[in-house]
Each structure stands twice: as C-alpha cells, then as structure tokens.
Amino acid sequence: MADQGDDKTSAQPEERRLGREEPAATSFAARNKEEEAPTTGSAAQAERPQQSADEENDKASSGFRAVHSEVEVSAEDSQEETNAQPKTDELPPQEGVQAWINVLGSFLTQFVCLGNMYSVGVFFTRYQESFDKGLADISLIYQIQVACFMGGGFFAGRISDRLGIRPVFFTGIIFYGAGYLLGSFANEWWQIVITHGLLVGMGHGCMYWPAISVLPMWFEKRRALALGIAVFGGGIGNFVMGVVVEKLLTAGGFRFALRIILVYSCTLLLLAMFCLKRRLPPFKHTSFCFDFSLCRERNWLLFAGASMFFQCAYNLPFAHLAAYTENQGFDSEFAAFAVGAIGIGSAVGRISLGVVADKLGRVRTFQALIWGTAIGIAIWNACTTKGSILFFAIYFGFVSGGFIALMPAVTAYFYGVEQLGTVMGSFVLFLVPGSFIGPYVAGMLYDNTGSYTTAIWIFAAVEIMAAIIFSFLDLSDSHESRQARLAEQANDTRPSPESPQVSRKKKGDIEEQSSSEHVEVVQV
C-alpha cells in the first residue's frame, strides 16, 4: 500500500476542473497512461488485472458523460434565464429624463381620461331634459363608463405587458374618439348609453392602465411622488373639465359639447402616447386568462374585496354631487363648480400625499386615506350650504385621491413591477361591481324617496367596512420579502461545492461530484 506522504503521489494533480483546464478526452487518456506506468508508491495498483482497469475506465467515462450532460442542460437553462432578464446596465436609467417624460405622458392621460369621466355628472340634467329619464337611468352612463374603464384594464394591462404600450393606447384613442363623435349624433337614449358610456369607457380602460402602470418601472426612491404628479393631472382635469363642460353645454347643448371634447381630448392623448414607453422589455409569457392563483393569497383577497366595497361609495360624489347640489336649491353653474372642486382637492392631495407616502410608508398612508374617505362620505349629509358643499368636495377630493395615486405603488409593493399591468388588470376586475352598484342604487333611492339622505348613510357604512378590511393587510408579505425567502430556500438546497475525498483504502475508484457552479473529478 502506498504511503500517504509519498512524494510522487503528492506530485500528481489532485483534481482537474472539467471544461476549464483540459478537455475530457485528455484527462482520461492521461489517467490510462498513468495506470499503465506503475510508480514506487503504487506497486499494488500496477498489479491489478487489465480487465478491472478497463471496467473502471468505462465506468468513469459513463459517469462523466452523465454529469457533463447535466452541466450542459443547467447551462442552457441559465442562459435562457439570462436572456429573459436583461442586465441592469443595458436598461435606461431610473429617474432620468425618459422617466420624467413618461410622467408627462401619464399626466396628460390622467388629465383627459379622469377629467372627462368625473365630469359626466354635469351632463345628467341635460340628458334628463333631452331624453326624459330618471336619475337611476341617467346614471347608467357613468356606471357603464367606469365599469368598462375598470374591466378594460384587465385586457389592456396584459396586452401592454406583452406588446408594449402604444398599440393598446392607440386602440383606446380610436374607441374614445368614436364614442364622442357618434354620441353627438345620437337621437335615442340607448345610443347615448352605447357611445358616451360603452365606447368612451373602453377607451378609458385602454389608455389609463398602461399609462399609470408603466411609472413604477422608472422610479424606485421617488415612486410615490412620480405617481402623485401623474395623477395630479386627473385632479386638474376634474376641475377644468367640470367648468368647461358646463360652459359648452350652456353655449350649444350636449351635441356641441361632445364634439369639442373630442377635438382637444384626442390631440392631448396623441401627444401622451408618444411620451409613454416601457423601461423593461415586453413580457412574452403573459397569459390572457385570469390568474386564479392570486385568489389563494390572503392579501390579494383582502385588497380586492375591500376595493370593491370602497368603489361603491367612491363614485357617488362624481355621479351625484351635481344633482345633490341642485336639489339643495343651487343653480347648475355652482353645481358644476362643486364637482370641479373635488378636482382641486384631489390635485393637491395626490401630489402632496405622494411625498408623504415615500417618507411614512405607502401602504400605511394608503390605509389612513381610506379611513379619511369613509369619514368624508359620512359628513356629506350635513353639507347643505355653499360653503359646506365646497368644503366636502375639496376634502373628499384630497383624501380619496390617495386611492388612485397610491394604488399602483401599493400593488407594486406586494407584487413587484415586472408584470404590474397584468396584476393591476386582474385587480381592477373587482372594482367593476362597485362601479355599477353605488351610483345606480343611489339614483334609484333618490327616485323613490326624493332625497339622497338614505343612500349617503348606506354607502358611508359600506366605506367604513372597506377601511376595516384594508386594516388587516399583512405588510410583511411584500414582493421583496418573498423574493428573499425564495433565494434563501434556493441557497439551502444548493449542493455543497466541497471537493469529494477519496479513501486511500479504495484505490482506483473514481468519484464525481457536481454543483451548480462546477464539476470536479478526483484521481488517486
């Protein structure tokens, strides 16, 4: 038996790294040659039968081919993952010039889409006069528009994740323009529902969600601020559109108003489309089916369910504040200004709350604003004077704007930014029932009782329920924490990279060991 301290044995290389130092054929040829030439420290090995040596070589070669095949497969998988995820230095910089250009594009989208959608209530009295319908029927326009706006986000988010923003956005402009143009020629009530409700709502959904979900890709440290500036456009648009639409209706009726809105809206939307661009490449494996695995997550169910309840009451002031104000004895001009005042509060709240959320925590700020919105709905019944109505409008706009401003940031906190359009698209499906229930039930209760008092108290309670559910969100279950747990589990299951040791009592046996980083073959 050879001595462990033998100079010749120790002079031989103890390990060879396959694929890095020498090819496999050279390694095994050298091994055969060494076995044929006995040394003073390995006389026993030279006396072994030739057949046994051949069997050992065949076994080692077979083992090498198996290990080498596994390494090649692992390398191919690793290369595919590398190609799927671009390197950070190959992407445009975060929070650079292009990032703020995207903020401008999103701002313009918010200005047009939310401004026009939230000013639909100003049309209600004109539509009542023209088509002789009650408020429950008239509110169908707003309900369908908001439902298509929310439901369209499910498809728009997925398609924009897969094809990019501009194809989806341009489709939205076509729906939007067709809705306003055809609506201006409508002679029957159902035609207004189809055009001003359905087509315009589909246009909203195709443009709004891609424009808002792209921003978290471009920002990290100032994400909530960037989103606040973008949705600030919705607050300004709400105020401006409310006043402008009232002026247009007074000047030429609803047909004239729809045509003028068509011209300036499509112009601004085309400009916005060319400002918007994804930072990350399109995600080719996005499914167009609803991801039911989300429904197994506790946070998802809480978030979606609470949002559905929140949406019931959130839409009431936008749909019915104008009619409520006129019901208190004020003229239509002040009623339109009251709706616009929601936009003033929203504009201030969305940008300032973005800064606060970046410092105090986005989810905590979001939860506090839901409670503030519930309180706002509860005090609505007490507002019967001009001053109190304006106070309610500004306060409600300030706190409720946080839902729109922070929703993408909160969603990114729990689910990341890679497929944010897809995740938000799935999420907003749960907002559709609330968009229908709230405005319609409030209009029906008004038609039956002649007052909004009952409807406001009911939906104040619904809003409080939503705030309670939001309070149970598990903040520890964030996207980053899940990624960290997965990485830790991967490290725990990874094989040890230590070199295999060969017992001196089993000379001639060859052992192999592979790890995720390299394969080593040891010869004695």
The pLDDT of residue 495 is 56
The pLDDT of residue 162 is 77
The per-residue pLDDT for range 153-178, each reduced to its tens digit, is 777 777 777 778 888 899 999 999 99
State the chain's mean pLDDT as an integer: 74
Which of 15-29, 290-304, 345-359 is least confident?
15-29
More confident residue, 364 or 522: 364
Q: Give yes or no for residue 16 having a pLDDT over 90.
A: no
Are the beta carbons of 215 and 421 closer than 8 angstroms?
no
Q: Give yes or no for residue 181 having a pLDDT over 70.
A: yes
According to DSSP, the β-strands at 511-514 and 15-17 are unpaired
What burial class does residue 84 get, using C-beta atoms within 10 Å of its C-beta: 0-12 exposed, 13-18 middle, 19+ buried?
exposed
Q: Is residue 470 part of a domain?
A: yes
Q: CA 186 to CA 200: how far, in whole Å? A: 14
As for how many domains the chain has, the answer is 1
Q: CA 403 to CA 191: how far, in whole Å? A: 32
pLDDT band at 418 (very low <50, low <70, confident <90, very high): low
Which of 27-31, 83-87, 178-182 is least confident?
27-31
Q: Give yes or no for residue 83 having a pLDDT over 80.
A: no
Looking at residue 142, which CATH number applies to its domain? 1.20.1250.20
Q: Is residue 513 part of a domain?
A: no
**Torsion over CA: 108, 110, 115, 120 (sign):** positive
Q: Is residue 498 part of a domain?
A: no
The pLDDT of residue 331 is 86
**Torsion over CA: 309, 238, 450, 148 (sign):** negative
| Mean pLDDT, range 302-310, rounded to an integer | 85
The pLDDT of residue 257 is 93
The pLDDT of residue 395 is 93
More confident residue, 247 or 420: 247
In sequence order, which residues have a C-beta less than 8 Å from that of residue 424 and are 6 or more positions away? 153, 157, 209, 212, 213, 407, 408, 411
CA distances from 414 to 400, 418, 424 (A): 21, 12, 11
Q: Is residue 157 part of a domain?
A: yes
Q: Is residue 21 part of a domain?
A: no
Which of 12-26, 59-73, 170-184, 194-208 is least confident?
12-26
Name the DSSP class of 196: I
Q: Is residue 124 part of a domain?
A: yes
Radius of gyration of the chain (CA): 33
More confident residue, 398 or 507: 398
The per-residue pLDDT for range 373-393, each reduced to its tens digit, is 999 999 998 999 999 999 999
Q: Is residue 475 part of a domain?
A: yes
Q: Give yes or no for residue 134 having a pLDDT over 90.
A: no
Q: CA 215 to CA 149: how far, in whole Å? A: 19
More confident residue, 288 or 357: 357
The pLDDT of residue 496 is 52
The residue behind tokens 């946080």 is 402
User: Which range marks the domain in which residue 291 is found?
Assistant: 94-482
The pLDDT of residue 223 is 76
**Torsion over CA: 394, 400, 405, 409 (sign):** positive
Among residues 26, 72, 49, the alpha carbon closest in space to that of 523 is found at 26
Q: Is residue 32 part of a domain?
A: no
The pLDDT of residue 130 is 87
The pLDDT of residue 112 is 92
Are the beta carbons of 135 and 443 closer than 8 angstroms?
yes
